[in-house]
Copies of this chain bind each other. A is one copy, B any other.
């Protein structure tokens, strides 16, 4: 699953190659991505906000993608709306983790998807700097047939 997502990122979203984005961990309920600092740095030598955002939005996108693949579903996944807070600079590699709230969240959305061909996922992604939050991302994703 990690390899599938890694290949999908590099072939379908080519800017992820320039970001050197890596799929780090997946356990069915949460996904962690990493992007090294050097290609993603800004004028201050810390992580560029756009790269933080891309890593965060793809953590949610990838989590939904793998969930649909595990269930043999064919679905388009799109970010619909997002709210981002940049709390502290990221001075090392970017690590973004996104998780489903519960199995129930998945089942409820999939019921709608099967009935109407469309559903929403509200997901949060966190990027840490040491022990505390560096960036929080709330994303509303749509999946459609």
In the complex, A54 has a CB within 8 A of chain B = yes
Which stretch of A36-44, A102-110, A121-129 is in the interface? Answer: A36-44
A66 proximal to B (CB < 8 A):
no
Q: What range describes how many residues of A lie at the interface? A: 20 to 34
Q: Are A86 and B76 in contact (CB under 8 A)?
A: no
Could you give, for residues 31-54 of chain A, a 1 whenever the CB lies within 8 Å of some chain B CB and a 0 otherwise? 000000011111110001111011
- A18-B39, A50-B58 known; 18 other A-B pairs, CB under 8 Å? A12-B43, A13-B42, A13-B43, A13-B48, A14-B38, A15-B15, A15-B48, A15-B51, A49-B57, A49-B78, A49-B79, A50-B50, A51-B54, A53-B53, A54-B54, A79-B86, A83-B83, A84-B84
- Point out residues on A near B: beta carbons under 8 Å: 8, 12-15, 18-19, 38-44, 48-51, 53-54, 57-58, 76, 78-86
